Amino acid sequence: MCGISALLSLEGRPVSSTEKHLASLDDQLSESLDTIQHRGPDARGQWVSEDGKVYLGHVRLSIVDLSPRGNQPFHDSVDDVHAVVNGELYDDEYYRKLLGDEYDFQSLSDCEVVLALYRHYGLSFLSHLRGEFALILWDARRKLFIAARDRFGVKSLYYTIVNGQLLVATEMKCFLPFGWKPEWDVQSLRECGWMFGAGTMFKGVYSISPGHYIISRGFKPIQDAVYWDAEYPDKRNPETRSEAEMIDNVRDRLMEAIKIRLRADVPLGIYLSGGIDSSAVAGMVAHLVKEEGARLGNDDSQLLSRIKCFTVQFDKDSGADESDIAQRTAEWLGVDFHPVRITEDVIVSKFEDTIWHSETPCRTQMALGDLPWPRLPREGSDEHFGGYAELRHDFMLETDPSWPDSLSETVLAELAQKQKLTLPTAANFLNIKRTPVSTQRMLNHTSVLTVLSSLGRLPFAEWTNKYATTFPETAQVESLNGQVREAIMNRWHPLHTAEYVFTKGFFSNLLLRYLGDNIDMVHHVETRPPFLDHHFTEYANGLPPSLKIKCSLEDGSTTEKYILREAVRPFITDEIYTRTKKPYLGPTKFPENGPLHQLFLRLTSQENIEALGFVDWEGSREHIRRAFEDKDMVSFRVAFSICQFVVLSQKFGVARATP
């Protein structure tokens, strides 16, 4: 719901006390906030410590408590603890009652609970936060600086060091006013580190990983720490719960996650596609309003016709339009339906703005339709219920000993063959045979990391090969801590390994940047994804793989997200219940010499490609040709990536990469 920017002078960095110096940093912080003013049009606040070593800045989009009392930064009553928070926190009313006798709340803002929880629980306060957030907290008495990010990385938070000063902000562009000079990190590009780990495509710039925080004590160098991580059951332990019991629990937990996200002092809407996730959310919201009298944002009318649902509407022949299905769901529910038409001209007109705001190249064309309209609470269960087609191969690698009706590995192999889920076909990548055997063993032979790594491949300039001594899959699995690697090899079912790898990297670093907060805030819209509620996901992670993906012996078919389908059955149409998942990819084919083709040709001029330094111009031109002349989808995705790097290069003023 906001944007934050902060500065901490690290040990050894001389800090002048002159008014000129302080004014300079204050102006830089103000300019940093200017770059993300769209995230917080309602209020702005800046604070500097007496010694001039700590600066906190905040721009606010008011969602809960619209009064000036909710403006930030927040300060406790003794002026020891100061904080800026971006996001939405739930259960704050519970903690207000619990801690009201010991903490003097100054507002009704949900985010102020951060200070109360810190003063009560100390550093363990992060474990008590429920919601989507990024925060920075300064304890002046203890000289303790903390920056933290929510468990799934819904809210972005980056950091770097410039001239001995730690900079932390919602978006990387916030660093530019402080003198940051962006450079490409070629090794990260070749090893796909920017897609999976804490590194970015820029040297020396990192994202705080989901479920992590960084901390500095006494202005000393920062340390990275984990306060939460996903966990999965030991695959050898038999499941004792019944299928019916687990279906009921999934339903109840999802309903509760949706219900707590209806609270707001502003209007609330729902993103509705043709998929089961958004349809289930819409159906459950309608149930809560109609049957339980729930208040939808600032609307307490309890009228289904006041529930606004929005959907993207592409051309009917694009292969990507789901508006007809979404409309049928809306009519079945009796809610207000709003299609938002996206044409090729609209995509072209918003292309460069999308990249500037997302700050991350997206290999798939799903981002093409996102910027021109505000997205609202949307899908997000695929990472926890085996919803992606790429996960089926890993599901069929092993039987599921936790479930009594699990199929044998022989039968699973036969089903995989019927569905043509041999590894090269499922992955559509080129170098699986060259992946080191040791890496395959570390990943328990799962393929999802190799599939995702293939999305980062570009026609790299030959000189960059010296940075390609480590395979992307090897680099990424080695970046995991030893306990996770042990679990992958010995305790987790391959499906759960695939879910973990997907969620911890590609999901937070790419998908949530394009299909989440960075783009939504352009329209002053806050995303509240109930499927990423950690109370809900922790339960979902513990479900047997055989209930996430269910196989049929009769025809060899698989039903993805089986248990979720059963859990939300009362709230969706028969059409949605029986529909096979269709990934949201956006339009897949565009005409030769059309607006998008012309844009790609302009962006991939020889001058622009050579200005990147790490991309081969001849190779990029060939991908452009094949993308539009041959309608080759792999080449389209490569061309799409290259164009985005060009835009980032120009808008960020990135220096040319050189040997």
- Of 429, 434, 421, which is closest to residue 450 (Cα–Cα)? 429
What totals of helices (H) and strands (E) does the chain contain, helices first?
Answer: 28, 17
My answer on whether omega of the bond before 41 falls inside 30° of 0, hence cis, is no
Catalytic residue numbers read 2
Q: Which range among 7-21, 125-139, 550-564, 617-631 shows the weakest confidence by mean pLDDT?
A: 7-21
Q: Are 389 and 498 in contact (CB under 8 A)?
A: no
* pLDDT at 426 (0 to 100): 37
Q: Which range among 115-124, 262-271, 553-562, 598-607 shows the weakest confidence by mean pLDDT?
A: 553-562
Pairing of strands 74-75, 212-217: unpaired
* pLDDT at 321 (0 to 100): 81
* pLDDT at 363 (0 to 100): 65
Section 147-161 average pLDDT: 96
- Of 86, 216, 217, 81, which is closest to residue 161 (Cα–Cα)? 216
Instruction: For 372, list phi and psi in degrees, rounded to 5.
Output: -65, -5
* pLDDT at 584 (0 to 100): 60
Section 192-201 average pLDDT: 89
Q: What average pLDDT is seen over the chain? A: 89
- In angstroms, the CA 66 to CA 42 distance is 9
Considering only CA atoms, give the Rg of the chain. Answer: 25
Statement: residue 172 has pLDDT above 90: yes
- In angstroms, the CA 618 to CA 461 distance is 10
Which strand (E) or helix (H) includes residue 452?
helix 448-453
pLDDT band per the 50, 70, 90 thresholds, residue 428: very low
* pLDDT at 515 (0 to 100): 74
- pLDDT above 70 covers a percentage of the chain that reads 92
Angle, vertex CA 273, rays to CA 278 and CA 368, nearest 5? 120
Instruction: Tell me the CA distances in angstroms from 28 to 13, 117, 269, one per residue in order.
Output: 17, 31, 36
- In angstroms, the CA 25 to CA 629 distance is 52
- In angstroms, the CA 235 to CA 233 distance is 6
CATH 3.60.20.10 residue ranges of the chain are 2-226
Query: Tokens 């002159």 correspond to what residue?
Result: 18
Task: For residue 337, give the 3-state DSSP assignment.
Answer: strand
Summarize pLDDT for 368-415 with one digit per residue, the tens.
555 444 444 445 577 788 777 778 889 989 999 999 888 888 888 888
Pairing of strands 81-90, 130-139: antiparallel
Q: Are 468 and 190 in contact (CB under 8 A)?
A: yes
Section 599-615 average pLDDT: 97
- In angstroms, the CA 494 to CA 447 distance is 9
Q: Are 601 and 644 in contact (CB under 8 A)?
A: no
- pLDDT above 90 covers a percentage of the chain that reads 64
Q: Are 184 and 198 in contact (CB under 8 A)?
A: no
Instruction: Tell me the CA distances in angstroms from 193 to 379, 430, 499, 516, 567, one per residue in order.
Output: 26, 19, 18, 21, 37
How far the first Cα of the chain sits from its last, in Å, is 42
**What number of other Cβ atoms are within 10 A of residue 208's Cβ?**
22
- In angstroms, the CA 272 to CA 376 distance is 9
Which strand (E) or helix (H) includes residue 8?
strand 2-9
* pLDDT at 405 (0 to 100): 83
Query: Tokens 């609970």 correspond to what residue?
Result: 113
- Of 565, 585, 513, 235, which is closest to residue 385 (Cα–Cα)? 565
Any known ligand binding at 312?
A: yes
Summarize pLDDT for 299-355 with one digit per residue, the tens.
888 889 999 998 888 887 777 788 999 999 999 999 999 998 888 888 899 899 989
- In angstroms, the CA 352 to CA 459 distance is 22
- Of 352, 346, 351, which is closest to residue 652 (Cα–Cα)? 352
* pLDDT at 376 (0 to 100): 42
pLDDT band per the 50, 70, 90 thresholds, residue 196: confident
On the 0-12 / 13-18 / 19+ scale of CB atoms within 10 A, 15 is middle
Q: Which range among 107-116, 355-364, 584-593 shows the weakest confidence by mean pLDDT?
A: 584-593
Instruction: Tell me the CA distances in angstroms from 619 to 241, 466, 604, 625, 655, one per residue in order.
Output: 55, 19, 11, 10, 21
Where helices occur in 511-594 by DSSP H, the ranges are 512-514, 517-520, 534-541, 545-548, 562-568, 574-578
Statement: residue 197 has pLDDT above 80: yes
- Of 35, 177, 17, 596, which is closest to residue 347 (Cα–Cα)? 596
Instruction: Tell me the CA distances in angstroms from 483 to 150, 451, 480, 488, 490, one per residue in order.
Output: 21, 23, 8, 9, 11
Section 76-97 average pLDDT: 94
Angle, vertex CA 381, rays to CA 321 and CA 413, nearest 5? 95
Section 488-499 average pLDDT: 95
pLDDT band per the 50, 70, 90 thresholds, residue 436: confident
Statement: residue 416 has pLDDT above 80: no
DSSP string, 549-565: EEE-TTT--EEETHHHH
Ranked by mean pLDDT, which of 100-104, 381-385, 549-553 comes out on top? Answer: 100-104
**What number of other Cβ atoms are within 10 A of residue 455's Cβ?**
18
Summarize pLDDT for 36-49 with one digit per residue, the tens.
999 999 999 999 99
* pLDDT at 302 (0 to 100): 86
Supply the pTM of this predicted model.
0.93
Q: Which CATH architecture has domain 2-226?
A: 4-Layer Sandwich (3.60)
